Amino acid sequence: MEPFTPMSPVAEDRIPAGPAWIHQLKWDGYRLIAEVRGAVPKLYSKRMLPQNASYPELSAALADKPGDYILDGEAVILDPRTGKPSFQLMQQRGKLLGERQIEASARRHPVQFILFDLLREGGEDLRGRPYAERRERLLRLTQSWEAPFYVADEFEDGDALWDWVAANGWEGVVSKKTASAYKAGKEHHDWIKRKTVHHMDVEIVGIIWKEGRVSSLVMRKGDLYMGRVSSGLNDKAKAALRALPVGLSRADYWDSTPEGLRGAEVRWLVAPLAGRVSGREMTEAGLLRHPKLIDLEGIPL
């Protein structure tokens, strides 16, 4: 398979209406491309990196579905407590390297493959075909398939789906033109996503200084680095942060320096602060995109 850039929805603050559009849930996981030739499956990330070793349960399941096809979809892990996709569990899986660790994780939290497009079948490239036709062929191909494969449901009423998503804490809605061809990247207006705002409780473990001033804060959730946050900090908050006791080191929080902190001047807090942030989405690297402080323990915002 020649590497390609998967088609991605364009972010907008609207749900398009009319018979030219259908609507789907936006699944909170990792994009996954599956190529099957014969009984040999090959899994790829959005950036076309091999993923068979990361998802052995999906690789094994696809080996039982021989043929000649390319699937596009989302790899997700459902939180057993909520029934909703858990990006944090997917993130934890993605960081595992050892075969035994990955297999143990697969038994404990198996990955599901939510399918939403068929790009090739029987040697025929379908990317120039209308989405509605690709969808119909996907349904025919997978009509007898069972878990871990699920074809994404479609809804005609996008506003009603959005209301349900917002009320139930899902990630968002993706709307697609039924006549659209499959186009690389985001150079189109045929797939649109509207996302709910994430809210997350985090620990603030460090203060990043730049040119002698408080610049941003280091976020952690559990043992995971969640990125930096500066939006929401005013002068009064920065003055209060400067007075907090520091003196720990990065080794008190992580074994190695997170990539996003390399080269930064970080003063590590003796006692982490509880914080709450909002953000637009989680990146594939597991960071909160466009974070903003909503609340910070003992610090006026």
pTM of structure: 0.71
CA–CA separation, 185 vs 128, rounded Å? 15
Digit-coded pLDDT (tens) for 208-246: 999 999 999 999 998 899 999 999 999 999 999 999 999
Three-state DSSP class for residue 265: strand
Residue 197 scores a pLDDT above 80: no
Give percent above pLDDT 90 in the chain. 77
Give the C-alpha distances (Å, rounded to integers) separating 289 from 13, 38, 198: 16, 40, 10
- Per-residue model confidence (pLDDT) at position 169: 80
The mean pLDDT of the chain is: 93
Distance between CA 88 and CA 105 in Å, rounded?
13
Q: Which CATH superfamily is domain 10-195 in?
A: DNA ligase/mRNA capping enzyme (3.30.470.30)
Residue found by looking up tokens 């003055």 in the block: 239
Query: Structure tokens of 129?
Result: 């075909």
Domain segments of the chain: what residues? Answer: 10-195, 198-296
| pLDDT at residue 294, rounded to an integer | 86
Residue 284 reports pLDDT greater than 70: no
- Give the integer Cα–Cα distance in Å for 148 and 18: 33
- Rounded Cα–Cα distance for residues 222 and 176 (Å): 36
Homologous superfamily of the 198-296 domain (CATH):
Nucleic acid-binding proteins (2.40.50.140)
Which residue has better confidence, 90 or 159?
Answer: 159
pLDDT tens column, 58-109 = 999 999 999 999 999 999 999 888 888 887 788 788 888 899 999 999 999 9
Q: Residue 281 is which amino acid?
A: E
Max Cα distance, the chain (Å): 66
Do 48 and 4 form a contact (C-beta atoms < 8 A)?
yes
